[in-house]
Structure 1
């Protein structure tokens, strides 16, 4: 889902454009700002894909805004909408790639057409098959392979050598060894096939890694690798003058930029590679000496994802000390442990069946070792997530002699595996329901405030497009529809109070301008707020009169008797 920001210092124009585009059934997350300064606040918080802006505004005008956008969000499209014949501004605008210009007098159809064109351009920019193919060719060089092995060495527990700068120079690593680095890890799966061979999975991981490098390069320095679990990992540094804490006032901070770009990368992977990619990203840069602990904490956070995690960009707080490193009991259990940790049920069971069936002739000592090796993988997982009371017969994991045959013993282990995956799935669903309950409660308590998708996503610490999809999945309605319904219900209740003015009620449900509240209410109810109030009062008066007449009739009947 792309995000469109409407900017104009005339409130009626901003609201009118918002309502018009909201009614066009375009797959857009709409935001609005009433000044260039307010627009900058949006650009600091989240990725914006299309900006529809006036040129002439007090304070920060449209041209200044365009300059900031092009520096911080190079993929963003800008559409200028103005009533002025400002030749210099128009000339500068049309000379800038990704910028369109419209007169306000051209009307809403032209605006809608321009927005559709901007979205089409964004779609086209994500079609990067050729770019991925060219980048894959460079992956064959020994230099790239050496870099990948070096970073895997650092990720999985090795402390950086004192001569880190010399290592970087020798391996042609473009990152700065003297500055900290952001770490992001991808978790990908095929849309068309849930299970895939190691070669296919590795190829997909490399393609996603290189595609992300292509879309991130330019604004930041980035280098990707594949970890020992087959997942892409990216190391990212902003330019020295954009390092966190030293950026200019108008510059977008690094973390929102990365979250926004990874959303675009997810869309590109889906369109070009038929892959869904979830991304877990450290919320601050990590020192090289702490790289392994930061990476472990990011991997651990993946286990507590909300919902199915597809297309999610999740940030992880790295300020606290890193988590303990995970170690597999034996090398041959590595792949099982990885699939279990990652929630890949089909891949786990396929490998489990191959392993247990192919080794049945290995002799009792080897089968005993295999049984306890797999049992230790399960016990490690059960202890880590405190599941001992939820897995039936867990004590039998270390009691092979309770089973009459190897077939029965390995059948028990397979049942335990199935139980663990079911517990993981139900946990994800429960966390999804809890997250959406928090969003709904927040909406009910803040109907008079900004309830943009960006703000709600920030409240539960996920990216906006994932929250939108998760809300629809859990509630069956779009988030925007739910908010509108909640505001209508609150407004109807408040309109029954004749002590409140319509303007005051509009403010209490999030509409500062009475005209906007009236348009919103009439569109939903077919009558203005005042007409609804009068009809409600008339209905209440009629009901009171009916009850009073009925009461008088009862009294008269009693007297006659």
Structure 2
């Protein structure tokens, strides 16, 4: 899906283009409109736009001035100018810029539709280019990059003293960040890497996303990259500025908006290059270098905080976990025993399946089942190593009360309640299965809750077009628009745009059945400022004009 912004100070033109382009089927568009350059800037400050279709001559802020801002904020955005013959000098200036085209106003809707479709195709071609993949394959990891990784990993794990975090060290390792400034972290993880994927293939994926990030982030930020554990990818990001002091809140907010938009481009580019999805969590708090470890744990938990199927997410609100953990004092920061590779079991509980869990548990308990006595201290140690992983997971996700209705939790840490190691292992299998059932239910419930919030907001605000736009709905639930659109379809089986149209039709029909409301009032009540556009929309869906529908009901 591509975001298209239409800008024209003549409302009738903007409304008409919005309606026509919103109904084309050759390419999926999320269409927005603005009646002035300033209104367009307000939207561009909130979110990434892929294509801007704008008039050149407008009062206060012209199309060319708007182009300058677009190039500054969203360099990859394509711009299409609508122009008259008398504006050729403006056009000549505009087309000196890459990614800019123009259409004469006299060429009509068909030419505009064709140009928008071609522009969307150009964006898709750019995302599919394999140059980034080739570059990633040809790059050799240098000694300096290895030292960078060791240093950043040590800082993230809180292994460095404050005296070791020095600008001189940053400069020597070519880390392009300032020790004096705070930092924001972006965490990412490639979704569903198949078991047995060769290390060389995974390395290509990691290098691919690294160079994609460099392409898109470098224009507006300073950042350093860390592949933390061959699973979690971390970017340490600061606003690109010359001053040594702390950037103002405005600079941080602008940077967060930019990084969120760029993260979506990274997801699209990575998908087009590799066919794999990647999820991101962007910290909403800038912190000092010694606070990174705690923030990292929060981001990693959010990466594991699944909603629906949880692929290709972009979360930007770290308070999402507060509801789940408001009664929990355990956040899972302690170490886990690894003598029997229980770290694998912990990872499976977070990211795997019930089948993976049972297979891993089978390996971990293979020798335990051969123990002759329930007092075999090696077997006891192994059992409790496994039990502690499970207990840590239960506490981490605050699941004690949910489990209590399904199985006796006190048996987990009390061996005397098990007649033999066979019964003890069977108990662990049952408990593990219950954990996965609970978490699957929780993921589905979270998805239902999110969609419920979105549906309520739509029904409460049908009269306000901006409030039911995909961008605004995504802001309400702290998702990126593309992920919300996919999640809505996944949960309801209906496209979000179709749901909004259905809500408008239902409300319009209800109001039309009453003689107390004029048609232009009904039009405004369902979000159409123009009664003509409302009538066209209503007839397209129902095959009747609003007046014909009203007459048919009043006659009965």
Please report the TM-score for the alignment, with normalisation by the length of structure 2: 0.89
Displacement, 1:194? 6.0
Counterpart of 1:545?
Answer: none
Query: Equivalent residues in 2 for 1:132-281 (5 A)?
Result: 132-135=133-136, 137-138=138-139, 140-158=141-159, 160-162=161-163, 163-190=165-192, 193=194, 196=197, 201=202, 204-228=205-229, 230-240=231-241, 245=248, 253-281=254-282
Displacement, 1:480? 0.9
Q: Which moved more, 1:333-342 or 1:219-228?
A: 333-342
Distance 1:399 1:197, change over 3 A: farther
Counterpart of 1:549?
Answer: none
2:349 counterpart of 1:340? yes
Counterpart of 2:393?
Answer: 381
Distance (Å, rounded) in 1 between the aligned partners of 2:379 and 2:494: 53
Could you report, residue by residue, the CA deviation over 1:29-51 in whole angstroms, capped at 9, with x for unpaired residues? 11111111111111111111111
Distance 1:279 1:160, change over 3 A: farther
Task: Please identify the structure whose Cα radius of gyration is greater.
Answer: 1
Could you report, residue by residue, the CA deviation over 1:435-494 in whole angstroms, capped at 9, with x for unpaired residues? 111111111111111210011111111111111111111111111111111111111111
SS at match of 1:477: coil
Distance 1:323 1:384, change over 3 A: closer
Distance 1:238 1:359, change over 3 A: farther
Distance (Å, rounded) in 1 between the aligned partners of 2:366 and 2:225: 37
SS at match of 2:30: strand
Conserved 8 A contact 1:21-1:112: yes
SS at match of 2:212: helix
Displacement, 1:397? 1.9
Distance (Å, rounded) in 2 between the aligned partners of 1:442 and 1:72: 29
Query: Equivalent residues in 2 for 1:343-358 (5 A)?
Result: 343=352, 348-357=357-366
Conserved 8 A contact 2:316-2:479: yes
Displacement, 1:146? 1.3
Distance (Å, rounded) in 2 between the aligned partners of 1:395 and 1:213: 51
Conserved 8 A contact 1:208-1:232: no
2:530 counterpart of 1:530? no
Over aligned residue pairs, what C-alpha RMSD do you find? 2.9
SS at match of 2:401: coil
Q: What stretches of structure 2 of length at least 5 have no aligned partner? A: 323-328
2:334 counterpart of 1:327? yes
SS at match of 1:253: helix
Conserved 8 A contact 1:328-1:377: no
Distance (Å, rounded) in 2 between the aligned partners of 1:513 and 1:323: 55
Counterpart of 2:41?
Answer: 40
Query: Equivalent residues in 2 for 1:57-96 (5 A)?
Result: 57-96=58-97
Matched length: 536
Q: Which moved more, 1:136-145 or 1:378-387?
A: 136-145
Q: Which moved more, 1:381-390 or 1:91-100?
A: 381-390
Distance (Å, rounded) in 2 between the aligned partners of 1:73 and 1:356: 54
SS at match of 2:498: helix
Please report the TM-score for the alignment, with normalisation by the length of structure 1: 0.88
Displacement, 1:271? 1.8
Distance 1:107 1:41, change over 3 A: same
Displacement, 1:304? 3.3
2:2 counterpart of 1:2? yes
Q: What stretches of structure 1 of length at least 5 have no aligned partner? A: 540-561
Displacement, 1:82? 2.2
2:431 counterpart of 1:419? no
Displacement, 1:418? 2.7
Q: Which moved more, 1:415-424 or 1:336-345?
A: 336-345
Counterpart of 2:132?
Answer: 131
Displacement, 1:520? 1.8
SS at match of 1:187: strand
2:486 counterpart of 1:433? no
SS at match of 1:530: helix
Q: Which moved more, 1:285-294 or 1:415-424?
A: 415-424
Displacement, 1:264? 1.3
Distance 1:414 1:128, change over 3 A: farther
Distance (Å, rounded) in 1 between the aligned partners of 2:269 and 2:34: 28
SS at match of 2:187: strand
SS at match of 2:191: strand
Distance 1:483 1:216, change over 3 A: same
Counterpart of 1:120?
Answer: 121
Conserved 8 A contact 1:209-1:234: no
Distance (Å, rounded) in 2 between the aligned partners of 1:360 and 1:142: 47
Q: Which moved more, 1:251-260 or 1:22-31?
A: 251-260
Distance (Å, rounded) in 1 between the aligned partners of 2:355 and 2:432: 11
Counterpart of 1:445?
Answer: 460
